[in-house]
Amino acid sequence: MTFRWTMRTRIGVLFSVITMILIIVLSRFSYVAVREVYLDQLSRQVRMSAKAIATDMDMGNLKFVQPHSENSVATQFYKRYLKKKKEGHELASAFIFDATLRIVMTSDDESDYIHPDPTLLLSQSEIERLTPGETSTTLPFLGNDNEWYMWGFCRIDDEYWAGVRAKADQLMYIENLSFVFWFISGTALVFTLFGSFWLAKTITKPIDQMVRFSRSLGRGEWDTEAPKHVKGELASLATAMEQMRTDIQGRHKEKEELLAQIAHEIRNPLGGIELMAGLVYEDMPPESQQSAYIRQIRKEVSGLKNLVHQYLEFGRPAQAIGQLIDIRSLCAEVEQLLLNEIKNKKIKINYNLSVPEIYFDPQHFRQIMLNLFSNAIDALEMYGKIEVVSEMHDSYIHLSIRDNGKGIDQKWLPQVFEPFFTRSGHGNGLGLAICKKLCAVNGATIHIESRLEAGCSVTMRLKQTI
């Protein structure tokens, strides 16, 4: 199955792609902006806390602090100081470390003096570049307790630095916000897809209706009304197309009336010519050359009268008087009219009527069947077959005349219902055109399916009438 890039599909895809790009960009930008604002604020807070510890600290007794000497006066003094700063600045931890990156004092109750501290090693180059009073922070990282933290440093003097560890509580929510943005993006994309295809449908639906309307006009279905409920700029197009239909219908009717009038004027003198030729023929010897000429004149006049009669039928078909008719009985009447041709070719006619009766004008139906049976007989060879089938399809009755004759080339099928079109070398090409017009006045349609050497099927489609 070939994928078609219809206008509806293009509009839907275009709107969806544009919206998807905008949503992804805006979602990503919003997430990054919120994250950066929060980290910038947290970084300033951490820097201020580290600087406050370094600035307010009395460094005079720090040299007396020794590792694992928890009970010394100096150790107790600095631990109380760091705890106070920790609580005052709402920090996770506050500590002091030296140039070897060994933590010499911390606010934690359970001190673990590591030499050197591995976390500080990651920021060693940045720590060593600090000048007294200068501060810096690390990037946020996930601790062993699955909590986010940020470290900050401030150089006190040439030997010592103050350090803080602050919780980045909101960073977890911001990271979760990223998933929220993606969810919103996906939801918006789904709504955009439905919305864009709905919008495309509202645009293309009236266009499709007008395309079908123009095709109906192309098939000569002049009674087809222009699409209604069309709004906007397309309403002007619909109005123009309806006016075009009215104008064409009017001119077409004028031509048909003119054709019928001409045919009527020709038929009257033809009748007189035929009568006079008959009288002359009666007064001549049957075997004379003049009698042969008169017979030929009468034959040609009869052919002209038949042609004029078909012109009149095509130009002004009688108004349909619908009634419930039996398909089999009317087809049997047609068989009797064509009995000689059927016997000569030994043609077999089968009936498969799931729907035995239809609502149709009986005279129109008889004429349609006469044309279709005649065409089928002409296309058949000896011992050919004709099948008459009626069946229901979605509240419509399909009545088909099928044969196993020589068929019609696919390239000619669009033209077979056009007036005066013929490929048989005989006939005037009005038979199927008359069938189409008679079907139209009875509220039915007719179409043909055929292939060369594969037979032909002509189907009438009419609505079921109860």
How do the domains of the chain map onto residue ranges? 7-172, 233-315, 323-463
- List beta partners, residue 326: 357
The radius of gyration of the chain from alpha carbons, rounded to an integer in Å, stands at: 49
Q: Between vectors from CA 200 to CA 194 and to CA 201, what angle results, nearest 5°?
A: 90
- List beta partners, residue 95: 106, 163
Distance CA 124, CA 108 (A): 22
Distance CA 30, CA 390 (A): 68
Q: Find how far residue 36's CA is from the centre of its chain.
A: 43
Backbone angles phi, psi at 463, to 5 degrees: -75, 140
Structure confidence at residue 131 (pLDDT): 92
Backbone angles phi, psi at 97, to 5 degrees: -135, 160
Instruction: Identify whether the C-beta of residue 51 lies closer than 8 Å to the C-beta of residue 133.
Output: yes
Mean pLDDT for each consecutive 10-residue tract of the chain (466 residues)?
A: 59 74 78 85 92 82 62 76 88 88 80 66 89 90 84 90 88 75 76 75 76 75 72 75 79 72 72 76 77 78 71 67 91 90 92 92 90 90 92 90 88 80 67 85 89 87 76
Distance CA 170, CA 35 (A): 9
Q: What is the DSSP letter of 358?
A: E
Give the CATH architecture of domain 233-315: Orthogonal Bundle (1.10)
Backbone angles phi, psi at 409, to 5 degrees: -65, 140
Q: What is the DSSP letter of 285?
A: -
CATH class held by domain 7-172 = alpha beta
No. of helices (H) and no. of strands (E), the chain: 11, 13
Cα–Cα distance list, 237 to 202, 207, 218, 221 (Å): 16, 10, 17, 19
Coil, strand or helix at 269: helix
Structure confidence at residue 253 (pLDDT): 74
Counting beta carbons within 10 angstroms of the beta carbon of residue 109, is it exposed (0 to 12), middle (13 to 18) or buried (19 or more)? Answer: exposed
* Residue that has been written with the tokens 């011992």 in this structure: 383
Counting beta carbons within 10 angstroms of the beta carbon of residue 364, is it exposed (0 to 12), middle (13 to 18) or buried (19 or more)? Answer: buried
Tell me the whole-structure pTM to 2 decimals.
0.47
Q: CB neighbours of 448 closer than 8 A, spacing ≥ 6?
A: 408, 413, 416, 417, 432, 456, 457, 458, 459
Structure confidence at residue 1 (pLDDT): 44
Structure confidence at residue 8 (pLDDT): 64
Q: Which of 44, 46, 71, 75 is nearest to 62 (CA)?
A: 75
Joined together, the tokens standing for residue 113 give 């003096």
Joined together, the tokens standing for residue 15 give 């709107």
Q: CB neighbours of 27 closer than 8 A, spacing ≥ 6?
A: 181, 182, 184, 185
- Cα dihedral value 278, 284, 287, 292, nearest 10: -40
Coil, strand or helix at 113: coil
Coil, strand or helix at 314: helix
CATH of domain 323-463: 3.30.565.10
Neighbours of 236 (CB within 10 A): 10
Distance CA 328, CA 148 (A): 90
- List beta partners, residue 285: none
Q: CB neighbours of 295 closer than 8 A, spacing ≥ 6?
A: 281
Amino acid at 27: S
Question: 188: part of which helix (H) or strand (E)?
Answer: helix 169-218
The count of C-alpha atoms lying within 13 angstroms of the C-alpha of 439, restricted to the half-sphere facing its C-beta, is 25
Structure confidence at residue 153 (pLDDT): 93
Query: Inter-axis angle of helices 362-379 and 431-441, to 10 degrees?
Result: 150
Joined together, the tokens standing for residue 116 give 């050197």
- List beta partners, residue 324: 359
